[in-house]
């Protein structure tokens, strides 16, 4: 395992496994302005030019709301879902036969429509994150 030597302001401040360096940069234990060297290298190199902290995936700030209503412009994450049919009919089918009930429940889930919580419009723009 190759050890990497880290220097700050001309002084060696530690040595780490090569694969741990990027994580330590992310934790600010090692700074991009520090220098690193390992056996076989002819000179020290700046950390920032070699090791970059692993990028964390998260929604962009302007993109954290998934749905946009095309009618009133409201942005939201949880649309109001409206299913066709009724719970009573669903219950009735389930009592008659679990197979019929299963079909009815599946049909309702498939036909569920997403609505804007503000104006009840179905014209929503769905941005996949
Ligand atoms: Zn709306």
User: pLDDT per residue over 19-43, tens digit each?
Assistant: 888 888 888 899 989 999 999 999 9
User: pLDDT per residue over 48-66, tens digit each?
Assistant: 888 876 555 555 555 578 8
- pLDDT more than 90, % of the chain: 50
Alpha-carbon dihedral 88, 93, 99, 103, rounded to 10 degrees:
-50
CA of 43 from ligand 1 middle (Å) equals: 61
Domain map of the chain by residue range?
A: 3-49, 61-126
Give 3-22 as a DSSP string: EEEEEETTEEEEEEEGGGHH
CA of 118 from ligand 1 middle (Å) equals: 5
CA of 77 from ligand 1 middle (Å) equals: 13
- Which strand (E) or helix (H) includes residue 124? strand 124-126
For the four alpha carbons of 74, 78, 84 and 86, in that order, the dihedral sign comes to negative
Residues, Cβ < 5 Å to ion ligand 1? 69, 71-72, 74, 116, 118-119, 121
Q: Do residues 36 and 13 touch, judged by C-beta distance below 8 A?
A: no
Residue 88 DSSP class: H
Task: Kindly indicate the confidence band of residue 126, based on its pLDDT and cuts at 50, 70 and 90.
Answer: confident
CA of 64 from ligand 1 middle (Å) equals: 18
Whole-number pLDDT of residue 58: 56
Q: How many residues can be counted in the chain?
A: 129
């Amino acid at each position: 395992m190759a050890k990497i030597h880290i220097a700050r302001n001309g002084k060696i401040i530690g040595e780490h496994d090569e694969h741990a360096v990027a994580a330590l940069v992310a934790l600010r234990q090692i700074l991009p302005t520090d220098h690193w060297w390992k056996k076989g290298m002819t000179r020290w190199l700046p950390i920032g030019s070699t090791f970059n902290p692993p990028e964390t995936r998260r929604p962009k700030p302007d993109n954290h709301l998934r749905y946009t209503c095309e009618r009133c412009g409201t942005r939201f994450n949880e649309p109001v879902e409206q299913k066709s049919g009724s719970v009573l009919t669903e219950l009735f089918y389930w009592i008659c036969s679990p197979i019929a009930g299963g079909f009815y429940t599946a049909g309702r889930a498939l036909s569920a429509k997403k609505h804007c919580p503000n104006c009840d419009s179905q014209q929503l723009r769905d941005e996949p994150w």
